[in-house]
Amino acid sequence: MTDTPSPATMKVNHGKPPPWRNISMVWLFPLLALAVTLFIAWRSYSDQGELIHIEFENASGVAAGETTLRYRDVVIGTVDAVNFSSDLSKVVVAARVDKTVAPYMDSESQFWVVRPEVSAEGVSGLTTVLSGVYIEGTWDGTPGEQQTRFTGLESRPLIDNNGNGTRVTLRTADGNIMSAGSPVFYRGVQVGRTESPKLSENGSVVTVDAFIEAPHDRYLTTATRFWDTSGFQVSFGADGLKLDVGSFAALISGGVAFNTFFSGGEAIEPGQDYELYPDEATARENAFARVSANTVRMSTVFEDGVAGLAPGASVIYEGLKIGEVETIAAFMNDAGRDLQVQQMVSLRIDPQLMGLDADATAEDVYDFIGAAVEDGVRARLQRANLLSSSLIVELVEIDDADDATLDLEADPYPKIPSVTTDFQDINATLEGVMKRVNSLKIEELIAQATNTLASIQAVATDEATRAVPGQITALLGDARNFIGGEDTQAIPGELRGTIAELRSTVAEINRQGAIAQLVQTLENADATLASVTATSDSLPPLIEDLRALSAKVQGLPADEVMNAATGFLDSADRLIDTEQARNLPSSVSAALEEVRTILADLREGGAVENANSALASAQGAAQSLETATADLPELTQRLDALLARSERLIAAYGERSDFNRETLTMLREISAAARTVNSLAREIERSPNSLLFGK
């Protein structure tokens, strides 16, 4: 310590430099940390997405934090919370959606919960069985006025407003044929769907909105006709019996088809109104009426009756429809000698249907018809078809027609000359046809058809058939619950535990040499059974003795009989009393017990190959047992017989002395022992396996 330099007063600079010179670079780190934290906060805020609220009647399966919101099957958000509306009438689902998608959610947006669904059109939403339900949304691709409150639909909208296509309105008198989601076909290909039928305001018409997907909507023109394709259609006409069946889906839920029979229709606006015709033929016939904007009016006068002719009836030229009847009016013709009632029929002719341009003028038509009339074309009435009484107007070339011209001056429209029709002719033909028809077995046909339809109806209306979709849905729900259940999810863990235990058990078994032990035990059992056999072998001579004894007993006086019987019973007693006989059951059962224990262990271990070898040994043992026991039933029978005889004898002996009682007891014991052996033998015969596996 003495060498320690004396403490020098140290100069410590206490002067304070300006604070900024002292600022350490290390302060960058808090700034960096702050920046990172702010960045994280900003990112999570911007990732958070817009909060929207969707009201549902039923939000079964929707869970906060788990259920996703999807657009075109891509996850765009997650449900944040599930609450009730203020009056508890609805469920309000709050969800966060991606900010890039949110601007597209406008008043047109639709949301629905996707669940597993089974219907006539197929199975959908199966993926939700595993993953749980999700909310699907649809909206168009143009950002509109953004909205954050929506009303959810009960099910997938039939018409996806995000898909391109055209919506049209169909008008029909009967909404029965339609149901929501019915397919719309074009030439047999499904190109759209219908919504639910709605009643018009005054209740007179049913309207159904249908959506035709792009690009098929380009087939829609003002000339397009829609008709109903639901169910069957059986028609009987000149071309025979015809059965029309649409698709299966259409059969169940109804369907609509459309086609454009005539060119020249104009492009339509969305929301165009169409009439829905009951069938294709009607639609085709009515194609004309609303096609032509440009029609030319003409007239013709018939002298004979026009009963059966109605406004709207076709005007046919060379088999083609070129127009229709507009009005029918009767007037007095006083030009001749006497007054005559004539029928003036005004016609509307569509030049386009005659092959003229769509914008052909009336003069072009007059020229055309006029030329035809010069060649002998006349108007005449004709039946619409063989079976109906309705009439059409036909322009037909008459070979020996009187000269006539198109009367351009006629009032009010140019007049086409007409000829009378000889309906007799037609009637005769008709009669022949009717006769032929008569001979057809229509009743049978119809009865059969009725039966078929009834069967189909029975199947369709059967409660079971109807319940099927519901049951499947319930089943799927159950499956989902099952898979999602905590128990099920815990299974892999338990399984692993079990396998580990199993493994250790097997190892234990292997270690302890259990198999060797088992084999040895089985060998022991074998030996025991061999001794059983030996014992059984020694029994028959005894039986012989017994027989002899019985014979003697019968022939001897009572005292001797008794002595002999006593001697026999003593010897029998001794036999049963021998160690060997007594130990037999217990040693067998002990051996079996051992076998069973080891097998039980083995079974737990599940070592199949070990079990197989053990089974082979056991089989051998069981076989020896079987052979050994084969003799037992006989022995038992004999014992029984002896017993019966002895009993009779003893009964004859009289009073129930002590000796008597003892003898009886002993005999019963023998009998019981015999039965036990017997039942053991049967048991072993019946199911050798019980030896191995216990009962």
Stretch in the footprint of other proteins (CB under 8 A) among 3-11, 92-100, 238-246, 257-265: 3-11
Helix (H) or strand (E) holding 373: helix 362-374
Closest to other proteins by CB, 60 vs 263, is 60
Among 2, 3, 4, 15, binds other proteins (CB under 8 A): 4
CA angle 588, 593, 594 (to 5 degrees): 100
Find how far residue 105's CA is from the centre of its chain. 34
CA angle 219, 222, 226 (to 5 degrees): 70
Smallest distance from the beta carbon of 38 to other proteins, in angstroms?
Answer: 9
Q: How many CB atoms lie within 10 A of CB 547?
A: 14
Closest to other proteins by CB, 8 vs 267, is 8
Smallest distance from the beta carbon of 7 to other proteins, in angstroms?
Answer: 5
Q: How many CB atoms lie within 10 A of CB 203?
A: 7
Smallest distance from the beta carbon of 25 to other proteins, in angstroms?
Answer: 9
The interface mask with other proteins, positions 431-470, x = CB under 8 A, is ----------------------------------------
Q: Is 335 in the site for other proteins (CB under 8 A)?
A: no
Among 2, 3, 5, 269, binds other proteins (CB under 8 A): 5
Closest to other proteins by CB, 4 vs 202, is 4
Q: Would you list the DSSP string of 467-482? A: HHHHHHHHHHHHHHHH
CA angle 626, 627, 631 (to 5 degrees): 105
Binding positions for other proteins, 349-378, rule CB under 8 A: none
Smallest distance from the beta carbon of 63 to other proteins, in angstroms?
Answer: 9
Distance CA 157, CA 626 (A): 75
Smallest distance from the beta carbon of 132 to other proteins, in angstroms?
Answer: 8
Closest to other proteins by CB, 215 vs 484, is 484
Stretch in the footprint of other proteins (CB under 8 A) among 125-133, 201-209, 245-253, 581-589: 125-133
Among 3, 7, 252, 590, binds other proteins (CB under 8 A): 7
Helix (H) or strand (E) holding 198: strand 198-199
Closest to other proteins by CB, 127 vs 613, is 127
Stretch in the footprint of other proteins (CB under 8 A) among 177-185, 355-363, 481-489, 623-631: 481-489
Please work out the total of residues on this chain that contact other proteins, with binding judged by CB under 8 A.
Answer: 29
Closest to other proteins by CB, 33 vs 426, is 33
Binding positions for other proteins, 253-282, rule CB under 8 A: none
DSSP E strand stretches across 4-63: 50-56
Closest to other proteins by CB, 403 vs 487, is 487
Distance CA 314, CA 256 (A): 25
Stretch in the footprint of other proteins (CB under 8 A) among 52-60, 404-412, 484-492, 565-573: 484-492
Which burial class, exposed, middle or buried, applies to 399 when counting CB atoms under 10 A from its CB (0-12, 13-18, 19+)? exposed
**Distant-in-sequence, close-in-space partners of 108: CB < 8 Å, separation ≥ 6:** 139, 140, 144, 161
Q: Cβ(153)–Cβ(111) under 8 Å?
A: yes
CA angle 417, 418, 422 (to 5 degrees): 160
Closest to other proteins by CB, 82 vs 180, is 82
- Map tokens 């036990």 to a residue: 676
Smallest distance from the beta carbon of 54 to other proteins, in angstroms?
Answer: 21
Smallest distance from the beta carbon of 97 to other proteins, in angstroms?
Answer: 17
The interface mask with other proteins, positions 71-110, x = CB under 8 A, is ----------------------------------------
Q: How many CA atoms lie within 13 A of 333 on its CB side?
A: 14
Among 47, 57, 66, 501, binds other proteins (CB under 8 A): 66
The interface mask with other proteins, positions 145-174, x = CB under 8 A, is ------------------------------
Smallest distance from the beta carbon of 626 to other proteins, in angstroms?
Answer: 52
Q: Is 489 in the site for other proteins (CB under 8 A)?
A: yes
Q: Would you list the DSSP string of 320-336? A: EEEEEEEEEEEEEE-SS
Closest to other proteins by CB, 491 vs 616, is 491
Smallest distance from the beta carbon of 23 to other proteins, in angstroms?
Answer: 7
Torsions phi, psi for 111 (to 5 deg)? -130, 145
Torsions phi, psi for 84 (to 5 deg)? -105, 155
Closest to other proteins by CB, 16 vs 441, is 16
- Map tokens 């004539």 to a residue: 342
Q: Is 491 in the site for other proteins (CB under 8 A)?
A: no
Stretch in the footprint of other proteins (CB under 8 A) among 7-15, 183-191, 301-309, 582-590: 7-15
Distance CA 453, CA 618 (A): 66
Helix (H) or strand (E) holding 129: helix 128-131
Binding positions for other proteins, 17-46, rule CB under 8 A: 22-24, 26-27, 29-30, 32-34, 36-37, 40-41, 44
Closest to other proteins by CB, 23 vs 267, is 23
Q: How many CA atoms lie within 13 A of 335 on its CB side?
A: 3
**Distant-in-sequence, close-in-space partners of 11: CB < 8 Å, separation ≥ 6:** none
Using CA atoms, how far residue 545 sits from 296, 542, 573, 608, in Å, is 132, 5, 14, 51
Closest to other proteins by CB, 10 vs 243, is 10
Which burial class, exposed, middle or buried, applies to 524 when counting CB atoms under 10 A from its CB (0-12, 13-18, 19+)? middle
Find how far residue 120's CA is from the centre of its chain. 8
Torsions phi, psi for 630 (to 5 deg)? -60, -35
Closest to other proteins by CB, 493 vs 557, is 493
Stretch in the footprint of other proteins (CB under 8 A) among 1-9, 331-339, 423-431, 531-539: 1-9
Smallest distance from the beta carbon of 33 to other proteins, in angstroms?
Answer: 4
Helix (H) or strand (E) holding 65: none
Distance CA 112, CA 96 (A): 16
Q: How many CA atoms lie within 13 A of 200 on its CB side?
A: 13
Helix (H) or strand (E) holding 141: none
Smallest distance from the beta carbon of 92 to other proteins, in angstroms?
Answer: 23
Q: Is 481 in the site for other proteins (CB under 8 A)?
A: no
Smallest distance from the beta carbon of 40 to other proteins, in angstroms?
Answer: 5
Distance CA 195, CA 153 (A): 13
- Binding residues for other proteins, rule: CB under 8 A, are 4-5, 7-8, 10, 12, 22-24, 26-27, 29-30, 32-34, 36-37, 40-41, 44, 66, 130-132, 483-484, 489, 492
